[in-house]
Amino acid sequence: MTEWTQVLAAADAAARWHVADRRKGQAKEPYINHLIEVAHLVGQATAGGDPALVSAAFLHDAIEDQGVPAQEIARLFGADVAALVVEVTDDKSLEKAERKRLQVLNAPKKSARAALLKLADKTSNLRAVAASPAEGWPAERRLAYVAWAREVVAGLKHDNAWLAAEFVHAADAAEAKIRAEA
Ligand code: ZN
């Protein structure tokens, strides 16, 4: 497989694995929209130079949300892609609050590539908080979510100024929108 056909294979697998999945926001977008956005962000951030990272972006929620085994991702897409997905996967056996605490604690331990993937994921999530907030989330809860995302991102070690700026822009815009509506 060429590199770009492997990226398309990852997009295809992601579309199938998340076929019944919707985003939490009131627009109830297909989940694949989020995966494409994250893949696009890491692709832009690396100027197309890291196709395995783009594949991992398509697959980054497959273990956590769809229970796809890491071994299956390794078999289909190789050990490098699988390792990246594992690096950004939370332990779902833990309580939500504990998972969120661990994301802050573990952010500085991520490899630079996994850090970029997490940064892209958080950027996409904050854009969604502004564009299509989850139903029933009061302003306070949405602001707390933005603050937590900023905390996770502050710990990530990478050298991508462009994606860092995209994140800050998304976080600032989300806060401004929430405050304007409150
Ligand atoms: Zn995600």
CATH number at residue 147: 1.10.3210.10
Q: How far away, in angstroms, is 57 Cα from ligand 1 center?
A: 8
- Mean pLDDT over 8-25 rounds to 95
Phi, psi of 25 (to 5 degrees): -65, 165
Confidence band, pLDDT 50/70/90 cuts, at residue 163: very high
109-143: pLDDT as tens digits: 999 999 999 999 999 999 999 888 888 889 999 99
Model pLDDT, residue 1? 67
Measured distance CA(31)–CA(34) in Å, rounded? 5
| Statement: residue 50 has pLDDT above 80 | yes
Which tens digits make up the pLDDT trace of 81-110?
999 999 999 999 999 999 999 999 999 999
- The predicted model scores a pTM of 0.96
Find the mean pLDDT for residues 140-166. 97
What distance in angstroms lies between residue 126's CA and the mean position of ligand 1's atoms? 11
Structural domain tally of the chain?
A: 1
Torsions phi, psi for 138 (to 5 deg): -70, 165
Distance from the CA of 181 to the center of ligand 1, in angstroms? 26
Catalytic positions are 64-65
Domain hosting residue 147, numbered range: 3-181
Is the C-alpha dihedral spanning 152, 153, 154, 157 positive or negative? positive
Strand partners, 134: 25
CA of 5 relative to ligand 1 center, distance in Å = 22
Q: Measure 84 CA to ligand 1 centroid, in angstroms.
A: 13
| 66 has pLDDT over 90 | yes
Read off the tokens for 3: 């590199």
